[in-house]
């Protein structure tokens, strides 16, 4: 079945991003495999921080994974700084809790 085959869902710019996304996806019940990382580490040529890492998911869960990844890329899961008062707000909030200023893109 094509749906059970592993497909590349996203290519992360570095290991940290890949692992953040992997954690998010696994929290929503999606199985994730990373590629690129081990290979580069074995080669010992590049620092981990600049290695491109691919996230693979099964065809069955790919659509769901893309939604999570898309949300991540739009900063939904990241803390943000209010452009008005500089307060740190959690990713799920659209307004600054301190001054009610809109979240800037
Ligand atoms: Zn604010």
Instruction: Report the separation in Å between the CA atom of 26 and the middle of ligand 1, taken as the mean of its atom positions.
Output: 32
Residue 78, both tokens: 């990241």
For residues 52 and 35, give the distance between their C-alpha atoms in angstroms, rounded to a whole number. Answer: 9
Instruction: Report the separation in Å between the CA atom of 78 and the middle of ligand 1, taken as the mean of its atom positions.
Output: 16
CB atoms within 10 A of CB 2: 8
Instruction: Report the separation in Å between the CA atom of 82 and the middle of ligand 1, taken as the mean of its atom positions.
Output: 5
Q: Which residues contact 49 (CB under 8 A, 6 or more apart)?
A: 14, 15, 16
How far is residue 56 CA from its own chain's centroid? 12
Q: What is the mean pLDDT of residues 26-31?
A: 96
Instruction: Report the separation in Å between the CA atom of 103 and the middle of ligand 1, taken as the mean of its atom positions.
Output: 9
Q: Which residues contact 67 (CB under 8 A, 6 or more apart)?
A: none
CB atoms within 10 A of CB 87: 13
Instruction: Report the separation in Å between the CA atom of 100 and the middle of ligand 1, taken as the mean of its atom positions.
Output: 6
pLDDT 10s digits, 41-72: 556 665 555 568 899 999 999 999 999 999 88
Instruction: Note the pLDDT of residue 47.
Output: 57
In DSSP terms, 57 is beta-bridged to 7
**Whole-structure pTM value:** 0.61
Instruction: Note the pLDDT of residue 1.
Output: 55
pLDDT 10s digits, 1-24: 568 899 999 999 888 889 989 999
């Amino acid at each position: 079945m094509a749906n059970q085959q592993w497909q590349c869902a996203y290519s992360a710019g570095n290991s940290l991003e890949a692992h953040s996304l992997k954690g998010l996806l696994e929290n929503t019940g999606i199985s994730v495999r990373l590629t690129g990382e081990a290979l580069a580490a074995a080669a010992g040529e590049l620092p981990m921080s600049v290695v491109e890492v691919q996230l693979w998911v099964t065809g069955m869960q790919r659509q769901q994974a893309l939604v999570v990844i898309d949300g991540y890329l739009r900063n939904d899961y990241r803390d943000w700084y209010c452009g008005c008062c500089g307060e740190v707000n959690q990713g799920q909030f659209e307004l600054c809790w301190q001054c009610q200023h809109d979240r800037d893109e």
